[in-house]
Structure 1
């Protein structure tokens, strides 16, 4: 049986009996069931919360981002709905915002805020870095236009967090392919070294050499965030060494960033990038 589902509807339709419902399924919200022991993805959690609302609410916030296909959403976060209701339940955050018809669309048959409205909401929340990460994620998977988000500011002048949202719009970039790439870019931007390009394709006479996370192709300086597999997996490590050699043969200077450097020594990233740019002839 498809899930999540409303227990009362399944019983009324004769799809299962009360014993089966009690022994084979878990209630994630009141009257909303999934198979026992099943962990819900953010999309499934959003669907379950919408069923809990008696199919009346609009899916918003991180739940809307998940519905649009955004990555990097913590499955432990509560579902988010927009509904004018005083009834609350554990595991669901209820918003009470005014949404215009143009700010709501349908995804997988469910009412969801548009990518523009979703970015407008997530970009205003406390925590500039996380806000940029979430807007970056929406830019990656939807036709979101930052100019459209800016236009919403004029329509909702009294909303909270607009000052931060204006900054987030300036900082967001569709080229970020992970939260750590966004964090790396922000470290450089805050130091006055915002990369001029993201996802830079580099070629030699034999063809494609690499795609660099971010950098300055005009100076042949690139910055790469390397996840754990780049340091721990022998095959990946060997491929990285060959790739680095080919890039250096094309006069590229590559600054590699690890989780440890990004978290504890961000100044090291700035120092190395600034030195590489100066060596290339840039005035920074």
Structure 2
């Protein structure tokens, strides 16, 4: 499969400089004064800061449509939201000395592991997940995997089946273990981090996107359904969980209401925030285990 390296890209008028000059679309003066260089011979208007999508399309133009966008950049093309604009563009193809900002991997890839998104050649969600699990640190990889699963619906079994094609792939066992941690129900990177902390410390697997009761707003970020422990990870700093009162402070009204609502159904709601530490997560959830009548121990729990 090949993608045309058109002179002008539809994202924000990204151009191959030599082609724009040869066709008369731009003059050297305009290219020099009004455009910024993203990659060798690839430019975009200087008035706009490049986004991740701009840089992805620029990389595709630079490769003349022969490189396959992979990794985090591929996840972003498939709809993942938690990828920074400054993330390196990963690409599968043999290129000598790729420019700064592009990571090229000379790896095997089958035709059915490639698709096209917005005119760009990109790995399928299944291959994208496999590459993320192999080439990135575990926590960073699972954050991307959760986001990719949310955006595409890719399943763990699909990725593991693709991994069967590459029995001699580097870090294959690590990749398989990482893929098994994927959960598309995670709402934010902070939820994923909390989930990984809990899974590392206790064998019980918290499920993302659990519903407490029947109310539409009764969903919580994570939950141990058998234990009736719910966990919400607020996308705010710890201090913002509370409101100041003349006699001290207490949870924000909506948090207090949800705690009381959960209690009506026999659940304990643990409220965390995006900066909750490892110790805070284990301490707060461990206390909930105690309150629900479970004896805490590393490696498991048991009913008192």
TM, length-normalised to structure 2: 0.83
Change (3 A) 1:227 1:37: same
Match of 1:213 in 2: 221
1:115-126 equivalences in 2 (<5 Å) = 115-126=125-136
Q: Distance in 2 between matches of 1:227 and 1:263?
A: 17
Task: Give the 3-state SS of the residue equivalent to 2:223 in structure 1.
Answer: strand
Match of 1:283 in 2: 303
Equivalent in 108, 123, 126 of residue 118 of structure 2: 108
More helix by share: 1
Matched residues, number: 282
Query: What 5-or-longer segments of structure 1 have no aligned partner?
Result: none
Change (3 A) 1:266 1:241: closer
Query: What 5-or-longer segments of structure 2 have no aligned partner?
Result: 1-10, 244-250, 296-300
Instruction: Give deviations 1:191-212, integer Å, cap 9, x for gaps.
Output: 22534432112345xx424210
Q: Distance in 2 between matches of 1:219 and 1:270?
A: 11
Deviates more, 1:4-13 or 1:107-116: 4-13
Instruction: Give deviations 1:216-269, integer Å, cap 9, x for gaps.
Output: 234431011112168538899332233333223333211111234335644324
Q: Distance in 2 between matches of 1:263 and 1:25?
A: 46
Match of 1:154 in 2: 164
Q: Distance in 2 between matches of 1:15 and 1:234?
A: 58
Q: Does structure 1 conserve the Cα–Cα contact (< 8 Å) formed by 2:232 and 2:270?
A: yes
Match of 2:287 in 1: 272
TM, length-normalised to structure 1: 0.89
Q: Distance in 2 between matches of 1:270 and 1:161?
A: 33
Aligned Cα RMSD in Å? Answer: 2.6
Change (3 A) 1:175 1:188: same
Task: Give the 3-state SS of the residue equivalent to 1:59 in structure 2.
Answer: strand
Deviates more, 1:144-153 or 1:189-198: 189-198
Task: Give the 3-state SS of the residue equivalent to 2:216 in structure 1.
Answer: strand
Match of 2:17 in 1: 7
